[in-house]
Amino acid sequence: MQKHGNENCMGKLMTMSEAIARYVSDGAAVAIGLALEALIPHAAAHEMIRQRRQNLTLIGPISDILFDQLIGAGCVAKVQAAWVGNVSEGLGHCYRRASERALPRSLITEAHSNFTIGLALFAAAMGSPYIPTRSLLGSDIPRLNPTLRLESSPLDDSPVLLVPAIQPDVAILHVQRCDEEGNAHLWGNTGVAQEAMLAARDVILITEEIVAHQVIASDPNRVPGPFFKVRAVVHEPGGAHPAAVQGYYNRDHAFYHAYHTATRTPEGYQTWLDEWVLGVPDRTAYLAKLGEERWQSLRVTEHRYAAAVDYGY
Amino acid sequence: MQKHGNENCMGKLMTMSEAIARYVSDGAAVAIGLALEALIPHAAAHEMIRQRRQNLTLIGPISDILFDQLIGAGCVAKVQAAWVGNVSEGLGHCYRRASERALPRSLITEAHSNFTIGLALFAAAMGSPYIPTRSLLGSDIPRLNPTLRLESSPLDDSPVLLVPAIQPDVAILHVQRCDEEGNAHLWGNTGVAQEAMLAARDVILITEEIVAHQVIASDPNRVPGPFFKVRAVVHEPGGAHPAAVQGYYNRDHAFYHAYHTATRTPEGYQTWLDEWVLGVPDRTAYLAKLGEERWQSLRVTEHRYAAAVDYGY
Amino acid sequence: MEYTARELMVVCAARQIRDYERVFVGMRLPLLAFALARRAHAPHCAGLFESGTLRDAPSAELLYTMSDAPNITDSLWATSTLNVIGLMASGEIDLGFIGGAEIDHYGNLNTTLIGDWEHPTVRLPGSGGGADIASLARRLAIIMPHERHRLRERVDFVTSPGYGYPDAKGPAGSSWRARQGLPRGGPSALITTLAVFTFDPATGEALLQSYHPGSSIAEVQANTGWPLRLAPDCAATVPPTAAELDIIRASDPHGVWTR
Amino acid sequence: MEYTARELMVVCAARQIRDYERVFVGMRLPLLAFALARRAHAPHCAGLFESGTLRDAPSAELLYTMSDAPNITDSLWATSTLNVIGLMASGEIDLGFIGGAEIDHYGNLNTTLIGDWEHPTVRLPGSGGGADIASLARRLAIIMPHERHRLRERVDFVTSPGYGYPDAKGPAGSSWRARQGLPRGGPSALITTLAVFTFDPATGEALLQSYHPGSSIAEVQANTGWPLRLAPDCAATVPPTAAELDIIRASDPHGVWTR
């Protein structure tokens, strides 16, 4: 029987530590980092590392150092992704070490493209077993990823690639604002965030702001998905740093560069992890460590407000 | 070779009469009435009738008297739809006469459900030949609509219904506002409007307001699709009456009732058509005939504005 | 206390809704039932509309269609038809309401055509989202006027699958749905102007669960096109309470849908 | 006039963009090429990003990633990754830019792994949207540093299909793509630090179209892992104009991507 809101009578608002403890178990299939380089729930990933999650499957298009960190910490058994690395710097050193030398552990990659990972999540959201596409025909990716099936279209016998549905156990989304029931507003690039929210069994929302129910209801077109799929709401301002949150703060490019430089060796990665993850209890301490001046330098200074919209009758 | 914006150097802004003359040809497959009971481009349908279009294929979920009018006028050879009638009143008399007695001409119905018509348009938007679903298994609909294919899933041999892609020649969308290049804002229920816009070869936008480019660019998440698919922009305030346009005017329920009563007989339909379509040159005359008092009574009085959103950096 | 048959039907429909459930709401009576359930015994239920809307509270004004502007105002999600029906396809929707022109002994509904497929005597509007709701919701409740020509042994066309028919591979019922590949569901209640039927998933047959006050098993049989099978606890329908009627009349003060 | 190899590559990339075209823009050099084309010879071209963005003008600030906030501000469409790549799948995108770690004689690109599939010596980040762009765009332009170990006779892994390879069923080229079921497309240009290659769709082979000023056919051959075939009109690459360089330097004032 499906989960119901009544499991959440006690309320969905909780700390990051509670949300990860309750809704991300060892071995879980976790969709995270879904809006490409923006809105990446780095604070959630750091808490998974602090809680020493094991054997996770990570699902997402291009995870921009979040997957690399979890892989380096030994939390991950498998990735279902289009790209794993450091977007502005290049390779992900931890992903390389795990894939090439099984350090700190072996890793299975089920390779996708951005399109096929999106189609896989959309298929789950539609209750469809798979979606056929003409993309990746002639690519070796389907030969490396046995879940992708080359078939002929029953309509005209032409070649098609069948992309099977992927249903995450939990999708973790970073949003600009939501209420305590999990009604959220998400804007800017959305990548595959909505598809993942609709595909997942459980949803954890990490939010910059908690707002009144009425704020969300004033603009229902901005809502990524239904509140009743949301199990936990975590109020974590700055929780996406070093990724950008449209209208709140910009990407901290230097942080990605520093990570790239620091993690070239396993020892260097461990030092970085001790400093930025294991050595800080939570995101508040992380931001304090980052420093007020640096944090303020990332805040939005060029404000651009959306034109008025009337939902009246 | 695909159409380019440069065909529209002369500008996309034109009258309804020009837009229908240029982009809706006899025999065209036209997606229209895509946001279910709201935002129905009735003014566009009336112009198609005045221009005596023939052998059209109409594509849409539940057309709420728009399809019934075009069918009664003899413009339609085929409908690909989930429902054809008068939502608040019931049956569509013209649809019945055409289907039961080939009056004024024979009509082919390719029956769909709201889900399968949406999946068919989405498949075209994704460049996928078809999308499999478990809906309608056990229904007689696939036996009445030969385009729907019962197959076994290559993944596990379970039954699936394959919904082939539908690519309209033209999609006609009614929107709240857009600029002269076809950058639009659409809000409220969207039904299958975005899927149809992305699936169609050409797009005609009917808009309540023409606004500055900057108004649209201030809120890119509200845009249903890319300007470069838009061939024509028609500024037609009130163009959706008797359907509702969120934030502009409400549904004129009495008008649907009057249509239902008036069109019980072919003669009654012809009288109605002469009065409301053939007897008026354009939407301005139609609204004048409707009367200022009645029109004002439909306007939004309870204004509800969306909470502010910052797209800054 | 006075009440109309439709008011009783709204009450019976509301009783199908449990607290915390996600309900695919149709128009007219089911919409009033959603409003009643929210305000009575199911304050946490959520309503979804195939037009692309999610609501936790009924709209401020009476609706004639699900896309009416007041139904979007203050809603909790305004999205695509695919996204909301997709939720149902992926098993997230507990209960769906639909109506129909014809229903049969096994809960199969027809909203497509009466008579011969090639030359129908009556062409009906079609499925809309009805066939999707019947295919994909966890439970299905059907609301119809009770007339003998509407409650038939077998419908002319199965638009919205109920429990199918016995065939060479096995009986009607949940097993028929499984044979077709339907992921779940099936009719749980048929609410008419005279009675309430439940269904036996093992055989797919409708069971007379209750007959409305003022009606009788004999009257129901006289207006039903199949030989009735009674539920073990078949009895008179529990009438509306004054509180229930007050809520319904507050939602439809002019009786647009209930008179 | 002084210019860097990367500045010349940006100019060569911009020359691939025709007016009114819809271009799938990557990061770094192609993004600068889009800015240059818009301001020079293609004022009506539109840029799309797989993050879900459509722009008719370059962003106000230099981007490190396509999801950087300034790239969404004042954009013309902010939507899902599926919707924008779907446009390419349905044939609406004229030109796509991608890079790669390795490319071969037939324009096949590798961004997945170097060495043995099971035990790679180098694990690369993967496709991202690259394989989709190579599969679905009407034309493909590839931008890479010119090193002999990167321009190989055959890549270890085909992430993004170019013109494939000759096989029992026929030659490489457009016919190979058709045999695979790809709907269109194929590489039209390979732009490197030393040269520009075009491709012969009949055979799928790369043709040396031009060598950059200061380089030579001999130097290109020395740094290319396959025997060069020259385009009939092979010549020196036309250098950037002062106006082109001014635009590039205005877009990347600190030379983040061009120095």
User: DSSP letters of chain C?
Assistant: ----HHHHHHHHHHTTPPTT-EEE--SSHHHHHHHHHHHTT-TT-EEEETTTEEESS--SS--SSTTSHHHHTT-SEE-BHHHHHHHHHTT---EEEE--SEEETT--EE-SEEE-SSSEEEE----TTHHHHHHHSSEEEEEE---TTTEESS-SS-SB-SS---BTTB-SSHHHHHHHT--S--EEEEEESSEEEEE-TTT--EEEEEE-TT--HHHHHHT-SS---EEEEEEEPPPPPHHHHHHHHHHSTT-TTT-
Q: Which two tokens stand for residue B304?
A: 């509800």
Q: Which residues in chain D are contacts of B125 at CB distance < 8 A?
A: 83, 86-87, 90
Asked if B109 and B79 touch (Cβ cutoff 8 Å), the reply is: yes
Closest CA to D259 of D15, D16, D103, D28: D28
Q: Which two tokens stand for residue C44?
A: 């946490």
Query: Are the beta carbons of A185 and B310 closer than 8 angstroms?
Result: no
Q: How many CB pairs under 8 A join A and C?
A: 88
Burial class (CB within 10 angstroms; exposed 0-12, middle 13-18, buried 19+) of B296:
exposed
Q: From the list B100, B114, B253, which residue is nearest C123 (CB)?
A: B100
Rounded to 5 degrees, φ, ψ at C120 are -65, 145
All chains having 3 or more CB pairs closer than 8 angstroms to chain D? A, B
Helix (H, G, I), strand (E, B) or coil at B174: strand
Lookup result for tokens 């800017």: A188
Which residue in chain D has the smallest CA separation from A245? D69
Q: Residue A9: what pLDDT?
A: 53
Q: How far apart are the first and last CA of chain B?
A: 39
Q: What is the dihedral of CA A172, A175, A177, A178, to 10 degrees?
A: -30
User: Which residues are paired to B173 by β-bridges?
Assistant: B205
Give the model's pLDDT for residue B5. Answer: 45
Per residue, the 3-state secondary structure of chain A, as one string, reads CCCCHHHHCCCCECCHHHHHHHHCCCCCEEEECCECCECCCHHHHHHHHHCCCCCEEEEEEECCCHHHHHHHCCCEEEEEEEECCECCCECCHHHHHHHHHCCCCCCEEEECCHHHHHHHHHHHHCCCCEEEECCCCCCCHHHHCCCCEEEECCCCCCEEEEEECCCCCEEEEEEEEECCCCCEECCCCCECHHHHHHHCCEEEEEEEEECCHHHHHCCHHHCCCCHHHEEEEEECCCCCCCCEECCCECCCHHHHHHHHHHCCCHHHHHHHHHHHHHCCCCHHHHHHHHCHHHHHHHECCCCCECCCCECCC
Structure tokens at C54: 């999610």
**Contact assessment for residue A169 and residue A202, using Cβ atoms and an 8 Å cutoff:** yes
B107 to B34, B116, B148: CA distances (angstroms): 21, 21, 19
A208 closest CA partner among A248, A242, A171: A248
- Nearest CA to B181 out of B223, B153, B146 is that of B223
From first CA to last CA, the distance across chain C in angstroms is 15
Q: ∠ CA(B174), CA(B175), CA(B181), 5° rounding?
A: 105
> Phi then psi for D237, rounded to 5 degrees?
-65, 135
- The alpha carbon dihedral of C136, C140, C146, C147 has a sign of positive
Cα D163 from Cα D107, distance rounded (Å): 6
ipTM over 0.90: yes
| Beta carbons within 8 Å of A2's beta carbon, 6+ residues apart | C91, C92, C94, C138
Q: Does D90 sit within 8 Å of B199, measured CB to CB? A: yes
Q: List, in order, residues 6 or more apart from B279 with CB less than 8 Å away.
A: none
Measured between beta carbons, the chain B residues lying within 8 angstroms of D19 are 6
Strand partners, D142: D98, D190
CB contact under 8 A, C81 and B144: no
Q: Which amino acid is it at C79?
A: T
Name the DSSP letter for residue B277.
I
Closest by Cβ to D73, choosing from B127, B128, B311? B311
pLDDT of residue C27: 84
Which residues of C are known catalytic residues?
Answer: 50
Report the half-sphere exposure of A228 (CA within 13 A, side-chain side).
Answer: 26
Residues A103 and A97 sit within 8 Å (Cβ to Cβ): yes
| Distance between CA atoms of residues D160 and D106, nearest Å | 11
The proportion of chain C whose per-residue pLDDT surpasses 90, expressed as a percent, equals 94
- Residue corresponding to tokens 């909470």: B307
Asked whether the beta carbons of residue A311 and residue C72 sit closer than 8 angstroms, the reply is: yes
Q: Is the pLDDT of residue A2 over 60?
A: no
State both tokens at C81: 């038809």
pLDDT of residue C119 exceeding 50: yes
Mean pLDDT rounded to a whole number for chain A: 96
Chain A residues within an 8 Å CB radius of B185? 307, 309
Neighbouring residues of A269: CB distance < 8 A, sequence distance ≥ 6: A72, A93, A94, A262, A263
Statement: the pTM of the whole predicted model exceeds 0.95: yes
Only one residue has tokens 């061939």, namely: B231
CA dist., res. B51 & res. D12, Å (int): 50
Averaged pLDDT score across all residues of chain C: 96
Q: B-chain residues within 8 Å CB-CB of C170?
A: none
Q: Which of C67, C68, C159 should we substitute to test contact with B (largest number of B Cβ atoms within 10 Å)?
A: C67
In angstroms, the CA B229 to CA B218 distance is 20
The full length of chain D comes to 259
Q: Provide the pairing of β-strand B130-133 with B108-111.
A: unpaired
Nearest CB to D65 within list A116, A136, A251: A251
Both structure tokens of C105: 């002994």
Give every residue of chain B whose pLDDT is below 70, as ranges.
1-9
B177-195 burial, b if ≥16 CB within 10 A, otherwise e? bbbebbbbbbbbbbbbbbb
Q: pLDDT class for A5, splitting at 50, 70, 90?
A: very low
CB < 8 Å to C174, chain B? none
Tell me what percent of the residues of chain A surpass a pLDDT of 70.
Answer: 97
Q: Cα–Cα distance between D141 and D107 in angstroms, integer?
A: 10
Per-residue pLDDT tens digits for A63-83: 899 999 999 999 999 999 999
CB-CB under 8 Å, C182 with B194? no
Cα of C35 vs its chain's centroid, Å: 15
- A133, closest residue in chain B (CA to CA): B128
A189 vs B: CB within 8 A: no
| B111 three-state secondary structure | strand
Cβ atoms of B223 and B183 closer than 8 Å: yes
| pLDDT tens profile C89-114 | 999 999 999 998 999 999 999 999 99
CB atoms within 10 A of CB D135: 34
Beta bridge partners of B305: A310
Counting as low any pLDDT under 70, the low residues of chain D are: none
Distant-in-sequence, close-in-space partners of A151: CB < 8 Å, separation ≥ 6: A132, A159, A160, A161, A162, B154
Distance from CA of B1 to the nearest CA of C (A): 31
pLDDT digits (tens, 9 = 90+) for B195-228: 999 999 999 999 999 999 999 999 999 999 999 9
Among all residues of D, which ones are annotated catalytic? 50
Summarize pLDDT for A105-149 with one digit per residue, the tens. 999 999 999 999 999 999 999 999 999 999 999 999 999 999 999
B246 and chain A: CB distance < 8 Å anywhere? yes
User: pLDDT tens digit string along A236-247?
Assistant: 999 999 999 999
Torsion of CA A139, A140, A146, A148, to 10 degrees: 0
Residue linked to tokens 């090429």: D33
Q: How far apart are alpha carbons B20 and B40 in whole angstroms?
A: 16
